[in-house]
Structure 1
Amino acid sequence: MAAATRAVDYDTVIIGAGMSGLACGSRLFQRAHYKHKGRLLVLEARDRIGGRIGSVKVNGSRLDTGANWIHGVGTTEKRNPLMDILPHKKYRELGGRVAFRHPGSEREKAVIASEQDLPEDSEWVRIEAEPSTQKHDTPLHKASGDLVIPGEIAGTLTGSLWGLIASLHELAEMTPAAEAKRTTMLEAITRSRALQDTFDSIPEEYHRTVSGTPQFIENMEAAPLAAQSAEHPQGQAGMSLLEFALDDFEGDQVFLPDGYTAVVDEVAKELMSAGVIQTGKEVRQIRWNTDPVEIETASGTYTANRVVCSLPLGVLQHHQSQVRTAKPLFSPSLASEKREAIENLGFGTLDKIFLVYSTPWWNEEPYLSILQKGIATPPSNSDSDPDDGTQAPNTALDSFSGFTPELPGLAIHRNGTTTQDLSSLSLINLHALTGYPVLSCFISCANAARVEQMPDEQAGGMLHRALTSWLGREPPRPEAVHVTRWAQDEYSRGSYSHMITGLSEVGHRLEFQRPVVGGKGAAVLRFAGEHTSRNHFATVHGALLSGWREADAILEKLDAR
């Protein structure tokens, strides 16, 4: 007697309702075939959609915990597809920036108190820069004068940093892939003429600031420049020059004042209305060599003819590392090429520390006068489309940058040597961008791992001490502190992917684009996500395009029937 054939629940199941999974589902749902009940299902482990795009409300302020930028709006000839989703959404480049110099030998004067000086219930240090009649129940520490870099010099420093990044992209394009794979980004920076030009164009008293500036690249890529910056063992060598060997969208890097949530909702709109998305459905195993494919969740097993896995690379890496001690995510195990791709790409962490205030004190005296003397505007982008809808560059104070001795950083000196030094910090003034009285600080790589172990109050205290040091006086304390913890999030386990020196290859990303073929010779398992993109990894538009790519491949097979 022939074995009974198991009924198919769905034609296609998409695992994960982040941008790539939603993009795939919405593209499929445009076809009449997928509008029939039981044809399409999106499973999401969280109780919300959006994946690494999300927001929370703290003291009435909206905090965008994940993605908040469009990296390259594109040109008329090659437009970023995100620009056509809710085309009337607000966006603009960051405007004025204030940079605070490296404190050098003065840093010990600023804000660090020994732990025994602090009350057991406090992570905050009181600092007094000027005579005051206030009485404090925590120790007073004299802060030196403010560390604001004059606006003209800060503007040169900012322009030089973007010049350095542009030169690294050019170098990556000219370097053979095999050599770029072996070259650390740190090595490329130390050999860069652009960095030397920065030292030449900045007064010597700011050279220690110049030495620490390339740390910004770690925050941009969520990838380490050096071993001490790596949060994962496989990232000890740091990111490779291959990180910049790509053909991404040109144009401005713009901030979304209203966040990405509306974009996510727009992409998911029809899927949500049709009840195609089920949240709270964590997938425990994908048995891809059965007919049909079986997708096991905590609340039951689904079957499908084909599956699109849009789980983040960090989640795939976690399951692969646990395969000997826990139920494997994929059964049978994936082919060695897929396992190698999962293992050899990097997956870094970029976290945010939000300081939520009752008012934007930086717009008030005496702080406003201190900051205004250092406001520098970014250089104009001559490649931008003049009709692209962005606002003209402005002098609004949108960001701060400075140093803290409470986290380790890296200095790249004029002679090409590197030493451990203070960590650089970048803060965004969300009040100028969103209307909420919030400062948002980026923390990446090993320092993100450190901060994730801190209570929110301790992380907030660290930033408060840094601000006091920079300004030469203590600002108001925040009303609340919120810290993202993407590495600890079991459904992301980090932020986005990067290229590890000596390990990662472009071929690993392309390997994800090759479907897994089942026993009957049909493609049964596909992969989507920013980590599967050749030229747009680590971006929201990379995730979007990857979802469309896999949907189009499925539809092509459907049309060929």
Structure 2
Amino acid sequence: MATATRTADYDTIVIGAGMSGLACASRLFQHDHYNQKGRLLVLEARDRIGGRIGSVNVNGSRLDTGANWIHGVGTTEKRNPLMKILPHKKYRELGGRVAFRHPGSRRKKFVVAPEQEAAEDGEWIRVDTQPPAQQHDTSCQEAGGDLVIPGEIAGTLAASIWGLVGSLHGLAETTPSAEAKRTTMLQAITRSQALKDAFDDLPNEYHSTVSGTPQFIENMEAAPLAAQSAEHPQGQAGMSLLEFALDDFEGDQVFLQDGYIAIIDEVAKELMSAGIVQTGKEVKQIRRNTDLVEVETTDGVYTAKQVVCSLPLGVLQHHQSQDRSAKSLFSPALPSEKQKAIEDLGFGTLDKIFLVYSSPWWTEEPYISILRKGFAEPPADSESNPTTDDDEAISAALDSFSGFTDELPGFAIHRDGTVTPGLCSLSLINLHNLTGFPVLSCFVSCANATRVEAMTNEQAGGMLHRALTSWLGRAPPKPEAVHVTRWAQDEYSRGSYSHMITGLSEVQHRQEFQRPVVDGKGAAVLSFAGEHTSRNHFATVHGALLKG
């Protein structure tokens, strides 16, 4: 007697209710077929939707823990699709900034990793994995001075860094893929004329600051430049030049002032109303049988004709590394090409340290007088360039601070191309101007992100408070509360977003994810979505949206 074919509970199950999973389900739900009950289901392990987009409330302040930016609003001919969702959303570019100079060189002991002893050009270094304990430069405090860089110099410094980034994109676009794959981003930086020009354009006293500022690129990409920045073994070689070999959206890089939650809610609105999204349902295994796909969760087993997996790459990598000692996430195992794609792409961490205050002290005396000296105005074509003697205008336009700490390891790239251990570069965003809350938000990435995640909130806040004290030459008010994101420790993300590893990652790995796993009849039964599956828009929210 022939075995009867089982009936699936759903036509399609989408795993993950982040931007990509929600975008996929929302697009399916536009079809009449999926409007009917029992056709579509979204399973989410968290007790909320949004994935790596989220927010928390601390002392009455909304803190956007995940994505905050639209990376290129696009042009009239090629508009970023995020701009079509809630078109009246509030956003703007970052304006005025104040930079604090490098406090002076301090030699750190370092050793060369055995596997890097034969590296070319001496660009590979590894400093001690433990940051200096409770060390911070106090010379400015003892002298009663600050580390503010004059505004004109700070503007030149900022322009040089963005010029460097632009030159790296240009180099990546003109370098053959095979060569870009084996070229580290650090190699490209050390050989860059744009970096040499930055040294030539600034007085010698600021060269130590110039040497440390390329660390900014690590925060952009959540990917290591030097060996000591790598948080994962497969990232030891750093990110490759292939990271910038893409055709992304042009236009301004803008900060979403109300966060991404409203966009998530808009994408998910009809799905939530129809009861299609179920939270608190962690997927334990996806079994591809002969007639259907079984999705085992912490709350039972669901069956479907096809499954779309939008789990983050970090989660896929974790399960693949654990499969030998635990039940495999996929049964049978994924095709070898997809296993290699999972293994050879990078997945890094970008965290935020939020300092929540009772009021924005940086808009008040004596701090505003200190900051006024270093205020770097927005571009000359701005409609409202404040004058440097207008404290109220400066307060309204001052969006970011940058400086150094020696409580986390960093590195310095010198004009001659050599790389040495150095201080960690920090960037802080003034959320009071952007969201209305009296909060400073500091970015930390890669291995330093995992170091900060190992700290308590109070320890991380203390580190930043000491840095601010060093920069200003006097102690600012202590924060009322501190909140640290911990994306590497988050079992449902295990990092922030993907990147290209030197010598390993290839464009074809992302394209491999775009090919579904088929059954014996050639029908697609398992597909993948997420920022890591995008050829040109990986590591972005719009990449997740488009691939969903």
TM > 0.5 fold call: yes
Separation of aligned partners in 2, 1:162 and 1:353: 24
Partner of 1:135: none
Which range is displaced more, 372-381 or 292-301? Answer: 372-381
CA distance in 2, matches of 1:228, 1:12: 43
Does the CA contact (< 8 Å) of 1:222 and 1:348 recur in 2? yes
Residue in structure 2 matched with residue 552 of structure 1 by the alignment: none
Q: Which residue of 2 aligns with 1:27?
A: 27
| Aligned match of 1:44 | 44
- Which of 409-418 and 519-528 deviates more? 519-528
> Is the 1:158–1:378 contact (alpha carbons within 8 Å) kept by the matching residues of 2?
no
Q: Is residue 454 from structure 1 mapped to residue 455 from structure 2 by the alignment?
A: yes
Tell me, yes or no, if the aligned pair for 2:136 and 2:405 is still in contact at 8 Å. no
Structure 1 residue identity aligned to 2:279: T
Query: Would the alpha carbon gap of residues 128 and 504 (structure 1) be closer, same or farther in structure 2, given more than 3 Å must change?
Result: closer
Match of 1:248 in 2: 248
After TM superposition, give the deviation of residue 6 of structure 1 in Å. Answer: 1.8
- 1:116-149 CA-to-partner distances (Å, cap 9, x unmatched) read xx9xxxx9999898xxxxxxxxxxx746510000
Deviation string for 1:344-392 (max 9, x for gaps)? 00000000000000000000000000001111134479xxxxxxxx987
Aligned to 2:294: 294
CA change 1:182–1:107 in 2 (3 A) is: closer
* 1:290 to partner: Cα distance: 3.5
Residue 499 to residue 475, structure 1, CA distance change in 2 (3 Å): same
Matches within 5 A, 1:175-214: 175-214=175-214
Question: What SS does the corresponding residue of 1:316 show, helix, strand or coil?
Answer: helix
CA distance in 2, matches of 1:124, 1:412: 22
For 1:247-299, what per-residue CA distance to the aligned partner results, in whole angstroms no more than 9, with x for missing partners?
00000000011000000000000000000000000000001243111000011
How high is the TM-score relative to the length of structure 2?
0.91
Deviates more, 1:517-526 or 1:157-166: 517-526
CA shift at 1:5, angstroms?
Answer: 2.1
- Match for residue 173 of structure 1? 173
Deviations 1:398-435 (A, max 9, x none): 00000000000010001100001000000000001111
- Give the letter for the 1:74 counterpart: G
Which amino acid is the alignment partner of residue 523 of structure 2?
Answer: A
Aligned partner of 1:104: which letter?
G
Letter in 2 for 1:506: V
| Contact 2:135-2:406 at 8 Å conserved across structures | no
Aligned to 1:367: 367
Cα separation, 1, equivalents of 2:302 and 2:227: 43
Q: Which residue of 2 aligns with 1:385?
A: none
Q: What is the CA–CA distance in structure 2 between the aligned matches of 1:227 and 1:106, rounded to whole Å? A: 20
Structure 1 residues 107-186: aligned runs within 5 Å:
142=142, 144-186=144-186
Classify the secondary structure of the residue corresponding to 1:168: helix
Superposed CA deviations along residues 293-349 of structure 1, whole A, max 9, x for unmatched, are 100001110000110000000000000000100110000000110000000000000
What SS does the corresponding residue of 2:250 show, helix, strand or coil? coil
Aligned residue number for residue 479 of structure 1: 480
Deviation at 1:521, TM superposition (A): 1.7
- Alignment partners' CA distance in 2, 1:128 and 1:176: 48
Q: Which runs of 5+ in 2 are unaligned?
A: 109-132, 387-393
Q: Tell me the residue number matched to 1:412.
A: 413
Q: Percent identity?
A: 81
Q: Which residue of 2 aligns with 1:350?
A: 350
Whole-angstrom distance in 2 between the partners of 1:446 and 1:305: 41
Unaligned runs of 5+ residues in structure 1 are 109-117, 130-140, 382-389, 548-561
1:204 Cα offset (Å): 0.5
* Alpha-carbon separation, structure 1, partners of 2:46 and 2:71: 26
- The 2-side partners of 1:241 and 1:463 are apart by 32
1:488 corresponding residue in structure 2: 489
Match of 2:390 in 1: none
Output the aligned Cα RMSD.
2.0
8 Å CA contact 1:91–1:254 kept in 2: the answer is: yes
Q: Distance in 1 between matches of 2:71 and 2:91?
A: 11
Match of 1:138 in 2: none
Question: Does the CA contact (< 8 Å) of 2:137 and 2:406 recur in 1?
Answer: no
> Are positions 1:498 and 2:473 aligned together?
no
Q: Which residue of 1 aligns with 2:280?
A: 280
Distance (Å, rounded) in 1 between the aligned partners of 2:506 and 2:372: 46
- TM-score (norm: length of structure 1): 0.89
Partner of 1:527: 528
> Which has the larger displacement, 283-292 or 57-66?
283-292
Note if 1:468 corresponds to 2:469.
yes
Aligned to 2:260: 260
Q: Which amino acid aligns with 1:361?
A: W
Name the amino acid aligned to 1:101.
Answer: R
Query: Could you say which residue in structure 2 is the equivalent of 1:320?
Result: 320
Q: CA shift at 1:542, angstroms?
A: 0.2
The letter of the residue matching 1:50 is G
Counterpart-to-counterpart distance in 1, 2:46 and 2:22? 14
Partner of 1:230: 230
**Secondary structure, aligned partner of 1:302:** strand
Give, in angstroms, the shift of residue 48 of structure 1: 0.1
8 Å CA contact retained: 1:456, 1:482: yes
CA contact 2:136–2:406 (8 Å) conserved in 1: no
Residue 393 of structure 1 and its aligned partner are, at CA, apart by: 7.1
Name the CA distance, whole Å, in 2 between partners of 1:543 and 1:91.
20
Name the SS for the 2:482 alignment partner. Answer: strand
Partners of 1:378 and 1:235 lie apart in 2 by 36
Q: Counterpart of 1:401?
A: 402
| 1:200-252 Cα deviation digits (max 9, x unpaired) | 10011000000001000000000000110000000000000000000000000
Number of residue pairs the alignment of both structures matches? 515
For residues 448-479 of structure 1, the C-alpha deviation after alignment (integer angstroms, 9 at most, x for no partner) is: 01000001100000000000000000000000
Q: Contact between 1:159 and 1:378, CA under 8 Å: does it hold in 2?
A: no
